[in-house]
Structure 1
C-alpha cells in the first residue's frame, strides 16, 4: 500500500495486487479524509479476501450493489428483499454466513443482471467458479440461496420471474457425485424446464 500524489496535488491511498494473473489497482480513499490507520484497516481486510481467493475489488463492488437500491427487477434488488424477509428470526451466525456467501460468490456474478434474464448456464458457471477452489459445500449452499431468491421473486410477483425447478432450489434433491465433472457434462444433463430455465444435475 502506498500514498499516490496526483499532478494536481491530491493524495490517494492505493494498493496494487494480482488476481487470476491480472494486475489490479485498488484505492482506499483520499488522504486526509481517510487516515493512515483507516487505510491500513481497509488494506488488511482486502488482503484477507485475496488470501481467500476473492477479488477485493469485485467484493467491494458487490457490497455496494447489495447496499444501494438497484433497478426493481435486478437480482441484487430481489436478493436484498429476500434477505430482509428471510433473516427475521434466524440465528445471527447463520445470517452472517449467508450474507458473506452472497457478497463473495453470488452477487459479483449475478447481482447486476435482470433476474428474469438469468439462465441456468449462468448459475452453473457460478457454481463451477466456487468448485474450482475446492469449496464444494459452499457451492451447494450458494445454489440453495440462489434458488430461494428466485422462489421469493416468484412468490412476490416480480415481473417475468420464473421459479427455479425443485432440484435447483433444494440441495436434498441433488445427486452427489464422487468427483466434479466438466461444465459441458453438467449442461448435457439438463432437461427442458422452460424457454428460460432447465433442470440441472450438479456434481456438488
Structure 2
C-alpha cells in the first residue's frame, strides 16, 4: 500500500533505521536520530544503486514521486541518474523555487555550490 502524508508525519524513530516503502523502489528512510530521507533503489546494468532524493518535509511525498519518475525516464533513455551529479539536482531544486540559475551539464555547475 502506498504511503500517505499522515503516515509519514506519524512515523517515529526506533533503535534501528527503518524503511517505509511507497512503491517502485521509493522509500522513506527514518534514522535513529529522526531524520527522514527519501531514497530510490534501482538497478543500472544489473547493479543495484541507491539515489537519495532529499529530506522530508523539504521534499514532500508528491515531489519525491515526481523525482522518482524523472529519474526513471532518465534511466530508460540510457542515462544513470546517479551519475548526473550534485550540480544537476541542486539546479532542479533551485529551479522549483523560482531561481533563474540553470546549468546545461553537471560539470559546468561543479564549483558553484560546493
Quickly name the TM-score band, shorter chain normalised.
Answer: 0.5 to 0.7
Question: Among 31, 52, 69, which residue is 1:27 paired with?
Answer: 52
2:84 aligned counterpart, secondary structure = helix
Aligned to 1:66: 107
Point out where structure 2 has 5 or more consecutive residues left out of the alignment: 1-25, 90-105
Greater radius of gyration (CA): 1
Inter-partner Cα distance in structure 1 for 2:61 and 2:110: 31
**Over 3 Å off, 4+ runs:** 64-67
Deviation at 1:52, TM superposition (A): 1.2
Give the conservation status (yes or no) of the 8 Å contact 2:87–2:109: no
Deviation at 1:40, TM superposition (A): 1.0
Aligned to 1:55: 80
Point out where structure 1 has 5 or more consecutive residues left out of the alignment: 71-204
Q: 1:69 to 1:61 in 2, by over 3 A?
A: closer
Aligned to 1:124: none
Q: 1:22 to 1:61 in 2, by over 3 A?
A: farther
Higher strand share: 2
Inter-partner Cα distance in structure 2 for 1:45 and 1:34: 14
Aligned to 2:70: 45
Q: TM-score, normalised by structure 2?
A: 0.54
Inter-partner Cα distance in structure 1 for 2:40 and 2:79: 16
Q: How many residues align?
A: 71
Aligned to 2:33: 8
Higher helix share: 1
2:58 aligned counterpart, secondary structure = coil
Q: TM-score, normalised by structure 1?
A: 0.32
